Amino acid sequence: METPSSRLRARLDTARPAIAMSAHNALSAKLAAEAGFDAVWGSGFELSAAHAVPDASILSWDTHLAAMRAMVEVQDAPVVADIDTGSGNAVSVAYLVPRYAAAGVAAVVMEDKTFPKDSSLRVGGRQELVPVEEFQGKIEAARIDGGPLVIARTEALIAGLGQEEALKRGAAYAEAGADAVLIHSKQKTPDEIVAFCRAWPGRVPLVLVPTSYPQLSFADVAALNKVGLIICGNHAIRAAVGAMRDTFARILAEGGIAGVEDGIASVQDIFALQGDDAMREIEKRFLR
Ligand code: SPV
Ligand code: MG
């Protein structure tokens, strides 16, 4: 039987990596699917930003879970849920992941930082890692038959522990049953990540989030033949912020809304995204 996770697994092709676009709500997930992305990244960074709070375990997990459920409900691309540290220890993870499974996500990504986490991209952020064995237990606790894929994310490079530690952790996480390993880097050039990918023995596919080293193209990643999924980590919220700022400033500067009319989505477009046609059908059939 096809499940969200089996569909995603079939797309983790290292010769032609799947591409996920970030989302912070159901609408951005729907736009990502409409654009043709293979998957939706249920980003903790984006959701935190959408609430105007730091990405540091401030939002509760049920807020994130509700957002993932909403994304699954309105579009068909597999949703890759960013569960951060799993909200605590292996016990928290054992209770959390079945709830994400019930929400219909295709994968969970869990990182080996201590709870509460800090954003990987923050300059001078707190980047403490849990012991390898502890994280292996969390991976095992996350695994459910037929449930979401478990993508283990190591922050060893982010924490400055070097390639050897990152490779050791990646291998230990694959050993514990991770379906893929996300290796994150905040270096401004791709060298660190490319070196890691080349050294990775390839037991499970890798996952990359190239926010800090955008010069690495999807074709460059495919040529490495180690990466099954590339995540565009925060482009939905950054695009939204840029577009809103421009529009808001222009309206105030021009003293009216006429000038922005052609540059923003039409009300009809928004109706379509809301699924207005489907509601009209329901009205026709049932409303008496
Ligand atoms: C996210 O988008 O929430 C991520 C990627 O985890 S990063 O912000 O780069 O840590
Ligand atoms: Mg995150």
Q: List ligand 1's pocket residues with C-beta within 6 A.
A: 22, 43-46, 55, 82, 119-121, 209, 211, 233-234
Tokens for 15?
A: 């010769």
Ligand 1: centre distance to CA 184 (Å): 9
38, 55, 82, 112: the catalytic one is 55
pLDDT the model gives residue 16: 98
Tokens for 146?
A: 């037929």
Q: What is the pLDDT of residues 215-263, one digit of tens each?
A: 999 999 999 999 999 999 999 999 999 999 999 999 999 999 999 999 9
Ligand 2: centre distance to CA 45 (Å): 5
Ligand 2: centre distance to CA 126 (Å): 14
Nearest ligand 1 atom, CA 186: 9
Active site residue 191: no
Ligand 2: centre distance to CA 187 (Å): 17
Ligand nearest to the CA of 158: 1
Mutating to test ligand 1, I would choose from 234, 235, 237 the residue with most ligand atoms within 8 A of its C-beta, which is 234
pLDDT the model gives residue 236: 98
pLDDT the model gives residue 1: 85
pTM: 0.98
Confirm or reject CATH 3.30.499.10 for domain 4-236, answering yes or no: no
Provide the angle, in degrees to the nearest 10, between the axes of the packed helices 26-35 and 235-254. Answer: 110
Mutating to test ligand 1, I would choose from 24, 45, 108 the residue with most ligand atoms within 8 A of its C-beta, which is 45
Ligand 2: centre distance to CA 160 (Å): 18
Task: Kindly report the backbone phi and psi dihedral angles of residue 152, in degrees, each rounded to the nearest multiple of 5, phi listed first.
Answer: -90, 130
Tell me the CB-side half-sphere exposure of residue 213, using CA atoms within 13 A.
20
* Residues with Cβ–ion distance below 5 A, ligand 2: 44-45, 82
Give the strand pairing for 149-154 and 107-111.
Answer: parallel
CB 61 within 8 A of CB 108: no
Nearest ligand 1 atom, CA 121: 9
**Domain coordinates in residue numbering, the chain:** 4-236, 241-286
Ligand nearest to the CA of 182: 1
Stretches where the chain sits below pLDDT 50 are: none
Ligand nearest to the CA of 209: 1
Nearest ligand 1 atom, CA 233: 2
CA distance 273 to 266: 11
Task: Kindly report the backbone phi and psi dihedral angles of residue 103, in degrees, each rounded to the nearest multiple of 5, phi listed first.
Answer: -75, -10
CA distance 271 to 27: 12
pLDDT the model gives residue 202: 85
Instruction: Return the residue matching tokens 């809103």.
Output: 244
Tokens for 40?
A: 């939706």
pLDDT the model gives residue 172: 98
CB 207 within 8 A of CB 154: no
pLDDT the model gives residue 4: 96
